[in-house]
Structure 1
Amino acid sequence: MASHVGERMSGSIGVNILLYSFYALSYAIPGGIILIHSLGGGLLDMMFSMPMSRMQESEADYIGLMLMAEACYDPREAVGFWQRMEAAARRQGEEVPELMSTHPSNQHRIEKIQSWLPHALEKFQTSDCQGTSAFADAFRRALERGTQFQTIYM
């Protein structure tokens, strides 16, 4: 939808030119190739690739939120989802500083989604969701009855 692969490929051309320029210059410095190889790729990733990836992830979050709203899912639920993801990451000690990640932090995602919610809610309210909502409510009631049946008879 958003052509992120194409963007990444065209963006990597500039990064590769820069990296290979550093490689060429490193031959003038004893041990330079080792230094450039060790640090160069990681530094360029942090300066170019990771920020681009985080931007693309944010764009994907926005597109997903709008699609969610148009498909009659309440977009406000996205905030709760990312709050649960944040809590799980904290419990498991898996928090990675955003600067070192290809994805926005969960907290940053929550903030962005909250800023997009007015537009998403507008889409949600203008979508023809009456039929979908009625079906979802009927399904929920049937599921609850099934759970009660299972508790009583099994």
Structure 2
Amino acid sequence: MEPKIGISADNLAKVAHALNSILADEYVLYTKTRNAHWNVEGPDFHTKHLFFESQYEQLDEIMDSVAERIRSLGHYAPATLKSFLELTHLSEVLHSKNDGAGFITELLNDHESIIIRLREDINIFANDLKDLGTSDYVTGLMETHEKMAWMLRSHLK
């Protein structure tokens, strides 16, 4: 049954498609953060191992929340690795050294890239697609990524 929430079916589809891309970015970032958690090495291993764990746990909650937002708008969330890789704008970069600083720099770049895209989407959702709820939701998501990026950035000083 189609939601009757004051947003046209066409706009709901456009919002859901944009959220699918956000979900894909979150999933790829989650996977990269898990990789850092599993494979970090160095004298600060234990601290970084726990730090990356706290970050991927936050990303796990974000992914669930984005998927539920998509469902609340009457659409299905993508749920395959193939679809995530087709929808994401992030890349799976492999580096040769599994040190904390390398992983942190890579993850920070991804968070900042996501923040920029979310910031661009906020007004599109509100003004063009008439979905203030998703605009507000994405604002909160952007703020969460800003805090996560700050935590990563602080390790590089």
- Same fold, TM-score > 0.5, yes or no: no
Relative to the length of structure 2, the TM-score reads 0.29
Relative to the length of structure 1, the TM-score reads 0.29
The answer to which structure has the higher helix fraction is 1
Q: Which has the higher contact order (CA 8 A, sep 6+)?
A: 2
Greater radius of gyration (CA): 1
